[in-house]
């Protein structure tokens, strides 16, 4: 068998999936049923574009695709607005003189003449293919690696190294394949292809808005030393502008090796023009013209080719190294957990549009077109915390995206009869609601069903605000808060006041007709998560209003004028905040009822409910799914409240709710297990937490989540689960919480782990934390701007810049374990 690229011993995770060296995910053999899953799992991306982890030349049927951010388009006849997949400039094929293609077919079982392994380098986000073929002509190997550059967001680089018996002739083809995988129709039209000095350039425009997109391909052949290799003949065929291709024959030299490097450059008309400040769906967005886009792609491709693979990769790896320095969370003593966590962090990065403050972080990132490349509450609640605590500049950009799209939220609120801003459940380019009224399909009747994600799941509004609060509390960036933040905040407060109803019977404000975090139960009242988030958001609005009044009256005056804020509104925010009904824990059991009437529902568990399914594809939820009239919930809901509001309830209440809801939770959302894991970790129930953490973090590596729900494709990387893995590790096991005036680091280390090391940033300073069973070490660099107060298991420490502080052991050992 061809050698593995990943170093060291491989440890089996499950089935064909393994890990190695703390940084590598490996998989042996070729299984057609896992092609699509690996394409997501072995994705390479940089937040601007992402190329799926297939093998070069497999084509659209294998779900090969490069998804590019900021290219929303609705194909003719489709109800779905989605990001485009662009022509595949990494398409390649190697054929022996006998006409045998080296690559295995994606949809056929692995032939006996082959060995096939794919290793995924988490550190640099590269898939390495190792293929060996024993053919009648001799032994052939193909090694292929590919990265989407973190140093150049337009660039993907692929290198293939083929070994063959010296003197053999191989035919190599490289195309810009325009027939690409696309979930909901064709987006690109009017393709034009050209060759300029060896660069193939395809340009096309999107169907809905005429956005030009150009894709360029360079191809360089060398021997194993890097010396240029002349092809015997190169034929370029531009006849089909949707598939220009090159074909060349290479005679293998005495070293038996040919190295081909393909650069793929993607430029869109949006890349060259600043986005509008208040985007609206009915206002055409400016973009560069096709000529300029094509020219930019060509220039970038030439530069990339001239730079060469080694230098391109070095820049890419350096960018990742710098990022890992901030975001890495190192688990010691458990190579599987260590690797799986990093794998999640890498995917969390790939999903994040770090280069922009006008783009959302999609629920599937750029791994597939599912979920429309759009932000859900996931962005703020599951992905943002990692950035807030490690790279606050990225968090800031994501928060600014919500301000950038505030007009869309305002339009949604107005359309539904509310005041202020009601952020979209599915938020894309303009912030207008992308979630359609009907999308799941009743498998029994084939009829679309009405889900109320887009009008009843109102917690998204306070969720955004509470993310802003976390950011400001952690960074001290009151500039953002008082500028864009306050506008968002006040508009959300207005929305909340217009959403509530006062019940004369009890004199309290209620939240009616909700969809809480648990999506199986729609049309519920007084969901405690939604209530607490709303109360906190209104409180923040009042506090910011008061602070501005005291400290920056000019800004408040400007905002008041701009928003036509009535002076009485601030009092209405306070009145509703104070009057919102409180759902107290049951005095006897400590359990908080998930909504009014939840406890009266049929008390069965997920397994019993699953046994009632008549069709495995049935949606479990509203309006008529099997879970609707039972206590079975899709995901953490009360536990989500406990996760997001640490300290809000005493530990015994937290534990009571964890124990009450866990057996009733199906974990039908990838957000669910991490929430339970985090809360369990905070309680010191590390064995339970560790199990939930790992199962949650494996969702994409093992690809055991549903690919289709109610007829809608929902496959791809669960971006929120990736961000959640960081939270479980650092906020859960690491016990990190940022208070107004100090940092808390109160870790609980699973017994099986030797240690946990991570970095957090607080108010411009850095703290490197290393948790071991013997004690916790806190290191601050010398250039920290100020001392940092930290609560640790053995009490309060104040960390001066450039110091190392040893504290007592984490509390795990002394906690009664579950």
Question: Catalytic amino acids?
Answer: 519
Residue 773 C-beta: closest distance to a copy of itself, Å:
52
* Number of helices and strands in the chain (H, E): 20, 36
Cα separation, 788 vs 798, whole angstroms: 5
* Complex with a copy of itself: residue 567 or 795, whichever CB lies closer: 567
* Complex with a copy of itself: residue 227 or 600, whichever CB lies closer: 600
**H/E segment holding residue 290:** helix 290-307
Cα separation, 279 vs 358, whole angstroms: 10
**End-to-end CA separation in angstroms for the chain:** 45
Residue 623 C-beta: closest distance to a copy of itself, Å:
4
* Complex with a copy of itself: residue 12 or 624, whichever CB lies closer: 624
Q: How many residues does the chain have?
A: 818
Q: How far apart, in Å, are the Cα atoms of 301 and each of 68, 304, 481, 499, 742?
A: 17, 5, 41, 52, 49
* Complex with a copy of itself: residue 442 or 552, whichever CB lies closer: 442
* Complex with a copy of itself: residue 496 or 698, whichever CB lies closer: 496
Residue 445 C-beta: closest distance to a copy of itself, Å:
6
By C-alpha distance, which of 217, 201, 189, 191 is closest to 76? 189
Residue 414 C-beta: closest distance to a copy of itself, Å:
12
Cα separation, 24 vs 3, whole angstroms: 14
Cα separation, 408 vs 402, whole angstroms: 10
* Complex with a copy of itself: residue 117 or 454, whichever CB lies closer: 454
Strands 743-745 and 755-762: unpaired
Structure tokens of 606? 């997920």
Residue 603 C-beta: closest distance to a copy of itself, Å:
15
CA 602 to chain centre: 35
The per-residue b/e assignment along 316-343, b for 16 or more CB within 10 angstroms, e otherwise, is bbebbeebbebbbbebbbbbbbbbbbbb
CB 632 within 8 A of CB 662: no
DSSP-assigned letters across all residues of 493-517: HHHHHHH-EEETTTTEEE--SB--S
Please provide residue 547's backbone torsions phi and psi, each rounded to the nearest 5 degrees. -65, -45
* Complex with a copy of itself: residue 456 or 676, whichever CB lies closer: 456
DSSP-assigned letters across all residues of 619-687: --STTT-TTTTBS-BSS-SHHHHHHHSTTSS-HHHHHHHHHHHGGGB---STTHHHHHHHHHHHTT-HH
Residue 156 C-beta: closest distance to a copy of itself, Å:
44
- Enumerate binding residues for a copy of itself (CB under 8 A): 417-419, 438, 442, 444-445, 447, 449-450, 497-498, 500-505, 509-510, 512-513, 523, 572, 576, 596, 614, 622-624, 628-629
* Complex with a copy of itself: residue 525 or 754, whichever CB lies closer: 525
Q: What is the CA radius of gyration of the chain?
A: 27
Residue 624 C-beta: closest distance to a copy of itself, Å:
5
Residue 412 C-beta: closest distance to a copy of itself, Å:
15
């Amino acid at each position: 068998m061809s050698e593995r690229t990943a170093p060291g011993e491989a440890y089996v995770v499950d089935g064909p999936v393994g890990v190695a060296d703390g940084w590598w995910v490996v998989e042996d053999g070729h299984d057609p049923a896992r092609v699509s899953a690996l394409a997501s799992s072995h994705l390479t991306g940089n937040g601007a574009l992402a190329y799926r982890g297939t093998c070069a030349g497999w084509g659209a049927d294998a779900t090969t695709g490069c998804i590019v951010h900021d290219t929303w388009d609705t194909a003719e006849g489709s109800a779905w607005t989605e990001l485009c997949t662009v022509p595949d400039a990494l398409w390649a094929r190697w054929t022996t003189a006998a006409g045998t293609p080296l690559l295995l077919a994606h949809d056929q079982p692995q032939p006996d003449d082959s060995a096939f392994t794919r290793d995924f380098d988490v550190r640099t986000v590269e898939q390495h293919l190792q293929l060996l073929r024993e053919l009648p002509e001799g032994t052939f190997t193909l090694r292929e690696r590919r990265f989407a550059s973190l140093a150049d967001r337009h660039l993907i680089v692929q290198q293939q190294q083929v070994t063959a018996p010296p003197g053999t002739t191989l035919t190599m083809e490289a195309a810009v394949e325009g027939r690409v995988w696309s979930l909901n129709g064709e987006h690109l039209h009017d393709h034009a292809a050209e060759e300029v000095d060896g660069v193939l350039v395809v340009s096309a425009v999107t169907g809905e808005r005429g956005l030009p997109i150009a894709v360029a391909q360079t191809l360089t052949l060398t021997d194993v030393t890097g010396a240029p290799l002349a092809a015997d003949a190169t034929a370029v065929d531009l006849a089909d502008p949707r598939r220009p291709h090159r074909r060349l024959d290479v005679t293998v030299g005495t070293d038996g090796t040919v190295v081909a490097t393909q650069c793929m450059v993607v430029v869109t008309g949006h890349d060259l023009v600043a986005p509008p400040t208040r985007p609206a769906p009915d206002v055409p967005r400016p973009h560069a013209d096709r000529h300029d886009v094509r020219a930019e792609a060509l220039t970038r491709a030439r530069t990339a080719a001239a730079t060469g693979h080694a230098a391109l990769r070095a820049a890419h790896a350096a960018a990742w190294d710098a990022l890992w320095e901030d975001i890495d969370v190192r688990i010691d003593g458990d190579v599987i957990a260590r690797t799986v966590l990093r794998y999640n962090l890498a995917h969390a990065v790939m999903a994040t549009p770090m280069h922009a403050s006008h783009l959302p972080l999609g629920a599937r990132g750029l791994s597939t077109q599912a979920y429309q490349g759009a932000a859900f509450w996931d962005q703020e609640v599951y992905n943002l915390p990692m950035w807030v605590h490690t790279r606050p500049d990225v968090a800031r950009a994501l928060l600014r995206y919500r301000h950038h799209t505030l007009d869309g939220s305002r339009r949604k609120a107005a359309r539904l009869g509310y005041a202020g801003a009601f952020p979209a459940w599915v938020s894309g380019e303009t912030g207008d609601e992308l979630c359609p009224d009907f999308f799941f399909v009743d498998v029994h009747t084939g009829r679309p069903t009405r889900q109320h994600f887009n009008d009843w799941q109102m917690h998204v509004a306070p969720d955004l605000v509470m993310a802003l609060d976390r950011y400001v509390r952690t960074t001290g960036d009151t500039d953002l808060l008082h500028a864009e933040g306050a506008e968002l905040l006040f508009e959300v407060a207005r929305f909340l006041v217009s959403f509530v109803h006062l019940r004369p019977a009890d004199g309290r404000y209620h939240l009616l007709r909700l969809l809480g975090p648990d999506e199986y139960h729609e049309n519920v009242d007084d969901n405690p998560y939604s209530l607490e988030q709303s109360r906190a958001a209104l409180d923040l609005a009042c506090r910011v209003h008061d602070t501005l009044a005291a400290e920056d009256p000019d800004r408040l005056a400007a905002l008041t004028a701009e928003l036509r804020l009535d002076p009485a509104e601030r009092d209405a925010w306070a009145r509703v905040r104070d009057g919102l009904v409180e759902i107290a824990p049951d005095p006897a059991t400590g359990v908080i009822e998930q909504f009014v009437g939840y406890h009266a529902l049929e008390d069965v568990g997920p397994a019993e409910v699953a046994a009632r399914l008549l069709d495995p594809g049935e949606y479990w939820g509203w309006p008529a799914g099997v879970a609707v009239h039972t206590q079975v919930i899709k995901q953490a809901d009360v536990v989500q409240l406990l996760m997001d509001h640490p300290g809000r309830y005493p530990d015994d209440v937290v534990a009571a709710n964890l124990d009450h809801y866990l057996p009733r939770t199906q974990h039908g959302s990838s957000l669910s297990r991490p929430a339970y894991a985090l809360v369990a970790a905070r309680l010191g129930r590390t064995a339970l937490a560790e199990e939930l953490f790992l199962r949650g973090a494996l969702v994409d590596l093992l690809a055991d989540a549903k690919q289709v729900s109610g007829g809608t494709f929902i496959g791809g990387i669960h971006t929120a689960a990736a961000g959640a893995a960081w939270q479980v590790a650092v906020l859960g096991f690491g016990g990190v919480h940022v208070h107004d005036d100090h940092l808390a680091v109160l870790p609980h280390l699973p017994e099986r782990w030797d240690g946990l090391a991570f970095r957090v940033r607080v108010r411009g300073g850095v703290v490197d934390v290393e948790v071991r069973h013997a004690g916790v070490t806190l290191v601050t660099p010398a250039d920290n701007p100020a001392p940092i107060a930290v609560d640790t298991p053995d009490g309060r420490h104040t960390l001066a810049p450039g110091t190392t502080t040893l504290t007592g052991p984490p509390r795990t050992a002394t906690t009664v374990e579950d």
